[in-house]
Structure 1
Amino acid sequence: MKELIENFGNQLKEALIIGSNSKLEKYKKPFSNVLIIGMGGSGIAGTIISELVSHESKIPILVSKTYFLPSYVSENSLVIISSYSGNTEETVEAIKHALKRKAKVVCIASGGKILKMAGEKRIDHIAIPKGMPPRAGLGYSIVSMFFILYHFKIIGGKFRAEFKASVKLIKKEGKNIQKEAKKVAKVLFKKIPIIYSPVGYEGVSVRFRQQLNETSKMLASHHVIPEMNHNEIVGWRKKNNNLAVVILRNDSDYLRVKKRIDFTKKVISKYTSNVVEIYSKGHSMIEKSMHLIHLTDWIAVILAQMKKVDPREVQVIESLKVILKNL
């Protein structure tokens, strides 16, 4: 797993080449909405990209993580199917519903039933490299989604330069990222992590939580500010040093959100001494997000090493798949 994280920058670079070479059909009909369907490590790219392009897209981009489709999906919808293995059962079922609704479907997968279906039914798709855990293929998934949105003129092409800048940033900051990750991992070791982030970066928080779940074998929770200030902040009432808080921040955060985060930190510091802030680096939201994702991925794998657990192992998920297969 360590080698896959080390290769994240190169993966982004390769994903840009794959996206540039993808051959999607021309489609002049305008869409009224976009739905991204994906589970777990394959679906998190949808959660992240929906925030990253929210200031640019003129139509809603929503995410679905279940077997069925919302009622609004129609022939005027663009449905992006993301399944690293190509065999995720919820996603395989959802694509069938999307085709029945006559939505425009584009798939992202490394193989499996979905790529087979795409070939048989002549469905647009982007094939990505196989041979890794789905969560380790985030770079391929998210860059492919950007190219799909760009192809259908939902967003512009500036993302390419921003991902290239992300690659340079990750390479430049590599040693500092690992150094900071080790410091944060020590704070989280044998604790229950709680992750807070500003609005616009909730997808990054979810990614971090999922990495702690799967890679580090830890329970964790997350919330977003300012929403957290209207509910969860009241729950901080008793001293509990079994909790460790990580606050993801950006120098560019909205001033009122900065003030809210400062106040929130002051409140929770009364109840746990384990509070750490992680500031993103980079200029664009894409750069900041990729930096935070790479750093928090390192935190998760370092925690796995500290706990002496296998970062790749997800046996309980595989056991569930066997049970469901035999239904």
Structure 2
Amino acid sequence: MKDLVQRFPEQLEEALRIGEQASISRPIRPIRNVIITGLGGSGIGGTIVSEIIANECPVPVTVNKDYFLPAFTGPETLVIVSSYSGNTEETLQAMDVALEKGAQISCITSGGSVAERAREHRLDLVLIPGGNPPRSCLGYSLTQLFFILHKKGLIGGAFVAQLRASIDRMRMEEAAIKSEAQEVTDFLFGKLPVIYAVDGYNGVATRFRQQINENSKMLCWHHIIPEMNHNELVGWAEQHEECAVVILRNSTDYYRSQARIEINKEIIAQRTPHIREIWSRGDSMLERSLYLVHLTDWVSCYLADRKAIDAVEVNVINHLKGSLAKLGER
């Protein structure tokens, strides 16, 4: 897994080449809403992208992580199907629903049934390299989401330069990123990680949690500020020294949210001494998001090393899929 994390900048470069060459059809009807449907490592890119484009895209974007699609899905809906393997059960069913409702569909996959159905129905199809764990291929799927939305006329092309800036920063600051990741690993090892971020970085915080779950084989939770100030903050009523709190921060965070973070730290510090921050770097929200993703991906790998476990294996998920397959379709 560390080799795959190390190659993240190269993956983004390759993803840019794929996206630039991808053939994406023009909308056959005006697009009134967008649904990005996908789960796990294939779906998290949708969450991150939807937050980054929130102040630019003129239509609502919904991220779907289920078998079904919202009732509003129709001919003026752009449904982007994202499944790395092309065989994700929930995503395939959602794709069927999109076809039944006459939605405009674009697909991102390495192959499988998604690719077969895309060819059968003459849908937009962006093929990305296969053969790796889906969670290690965020760069491919995230980049193609931007390109599809751009080529459908929903966002501008600034993301290309921002991705290139992200690649340059990751390379220039590789040593500093790895060093801080090691410090965060030391901080989290043997504890229950709790992750906080401001609204707009929910996808980044979710990604960190998921990577700790899968690569580090640890339980973890996250919440978003200011929402957690209206519920979870009260949960810190007792001592929880087993918890280690990591706050993902940006210099551009809204000033009231920054004030909330400082007050939260004062409150939580009374319940656990283990609190630290990770500050993003970058000139755009996309660059800051990918900086945090890359750094925290390293944390998840280093935690796996500290625990002497295989970061790649996900046997329990394979067991679940096998058990579901035995049940068949109902």
What interval of TM-score do these two structures reach, taking the shorter chain for normalisation? over 0.9
What letter matches 2:50 in structure 1?
S
Secondary structure at the counterpart of residue 206 of structure 2 = helix
Partner of 1:309: 309
What letter matches 2:145 in structure 1?
M
The question of whether the paired residues in 1 share the 8 Å contact of 2:24 and 2:152 is answered with: no
Instruction: Report how far residue 28 of structure 1 moved.
Output: 4.9
Please give the alpha-carbon distance, in whole angstroms, between the structure 1 residues aligned to 2:123 and 2:208: 32
The total of aligned residue pairs comes to: 327
Partner of 2:215: 215
Partner of 2:106: 106
What letter matches 1:18 in structure 2?
I
Root mean square deviation of aligned Cα: 0.7
2:127 equivalent to 1:123 = no
| Deviation digits for residues 199-223 of structure 1 (CA, Å, limit 9, x no counterpart) | 1101000000000000000000000
Instruction: Report how far residue 102 of structure 1 moved.
Output: 0.3
Partner of 2:32: 32
What letter matches 2:199 in structure 1?
V
What letter matches 2:60 in structure 1?
P
Instruction: Report how far residue 118 of structure 1 moved.
Output: 1.1
What letter matches 2:287 in structure 1?
E
Partner of 1:70: 70
The question of whether the paired residues in 1 share the 8 Å contact of 2:178 and 2:298 is answered with: yes
Partner of 1:167: 167
Secondary structure at the counterpart of residue 273 of structure 1 = coil
Instruction: Report how far residue 26 of structure 1 moved.
Output: 2.3
The question of whether the paired residues in 1 share the 8 Å contact of 2:9 and 2:170 is answered with: yes
Please give the alpha-carbon distance, in whole angstroms, between the structure 2 residues aligned to 1:303 and 1:270: 26
Instruction: Report how far residue 29 of structure 1 moved.
Output: 2.3
2:152 equivalent to 1:147 = no
Partner of 1:58: 58
What letter matches 1:234 in structure 2?
V
Please give the alpha-carbon distance, in whole angstroms, between the structure 2 residues aligned to 1:27 and 1:271: 54
Please give the alpha-carbon distance, in whole angstroms, between the structure 2 residues aligned to 1:4 and 1:252: 30
Please give the alpha-carbon distance, in whole angstroms, between the structure 2 residues aligned to 1:289 and 1:121: 35
Please give the alpha-carbon distance, in whole angstroms, between the structure 2 residues aligned to 1:265 and 1:91: 39
Secondary structure at the counterpart of residue 222 of structure 1 = strand
Partner of 2:187: 187
Partner of 1:288: 288
Partner of 1:23: 23
What letter matches 1:24 in structure 2?
I
| Deviation digits for residues 235-255 of structure 1 (CA, Å, limit 9, x no counterpart) | 112222110000000011111
| Deviation digits for residues 222-268 of structure 1 (CA, Å, limit 9, x no counterpart) | 00001111111111122221100000000111111110011111111
Runs of 4+ off more than 6 Å: none
Please give the alpha-carbon distance, in whole angstroms, between the structure 2 residues aligned to 1:305 and 1:122: 45
Please give the alpha-carbon distance, in whole angstroms, between the structure 2 residues aligned to 1:27 and 1:205: 33
Instruction: Report how far residue 19 of structure 1 moved.
Output: 0.1
Please give the alpha-carbon distance, in whole angstroms, between the structure 1 residues aligned to 2:69 and 2:239: 44
The question of whether the paired residues in 1 share the 8 Å contact of 2:35 and 2:64 is answered with: yes
Partner of 1:92: 92
What letter matches 1:276 in structure 2?
R
What letter matches 1:306 in structure 2?
R
Percent identity between matched residues is 49
2:238 equivalent to 1:248 = no
Partner of 1:238: 238
| Unmatched runs of 5 consecutive residues or more in structure 1 | none
The question of whether the paired residues in 1 share the 8 Å contact of 2:27 and 2:104 is answered with: no
Secondary structure at the counterpart of residue 282 of structure 1 = coil
2:293 equivalent to 1:318 = no
The question of whether the paired residues in 1 share the 8 Å contact of 2:29 and 2:75 is answered with: no
Please give the alpha-carbon distance, in whole angstroms, between the structure 2 residues aligned to 1:121 and 1:202: 34
Please give the alpha-carbon distance, in whole angstroms, between the structure 2 residues aligned to 1:225 and 1:27: 37
TM-score normalized with structure 1 length: 0.99
Please give the alpha-carbon distance, in whole angstroms, between the structure 1 residues aligned to 2:286 and 2:54: 12
Please give the alpha-carbon distance, in whole angstroms, between the structure 2 residues aligned to 1:234 and 1:321: 37
Please give the alpha-carbon distance, in whole angstroms, between the structure 2 residues aligned to 1:25 and 1:197: 37
